[in-house]
Structure 1
């Protein structure tokens, strides 16, 4: 279920850089969460130059959002955010003021994968 969506300005990441980052994110998530790599999904979205802004000014802003099921502890999510920040910043080279990393959560009952409602992590 983990779904990573990465948004960067077109050209910020080459095809090879995207492939490396996707593998790094998959490995990190699989190892950290203890889930199979098959469950980890990574999608890149590029936007046109001059279509990103920070503080109202044109900027090559980079954003990473992770969608996961609820029930993880705040400590788990803080550590994961720090690891994701490091991976994403290393890959993009973006300065701190142009990176956004966030986690979105939803109950397992509101997600499907492989044609089935996701199981509750607490009951796995």
Structure 2
């Protein structure tokens, strides 16, 4: 226990990140955020890969790559336009983007073989 406390105290805290500044013009930023927000609002909680697929289907010209879209998503999270939720599926985690006021209809996995349910005699 003493060694664990020493290791915990020896760690440096994670450095604060500065706010993201998008380098696109304000008009283009507005259209990018509006399209991404509408996609997330319409299709429910989405992963980054699902969001990228929907953006490609729409044919948005302002986004140059998936990395650029991830930066825009992070910028939208900072300004509280979107939120990131975590869905635990067994030992795995799945991070989903959703709007602030949407009902989170994330499917929680059911226990296998009814292991958490009490057995009836």
Tell whether the structures are fold-level matches, with TM greater than 0.5: no
Q: Which has the larger radius of gyration?
A: 2
- The TM-score, its normalising length taken from structure 1, stands at 0.32
- The TM-score, its normalising length taken from structure 2, stands at 0.33
Higher relative contact order (CA 8 A, sep 6+): 1
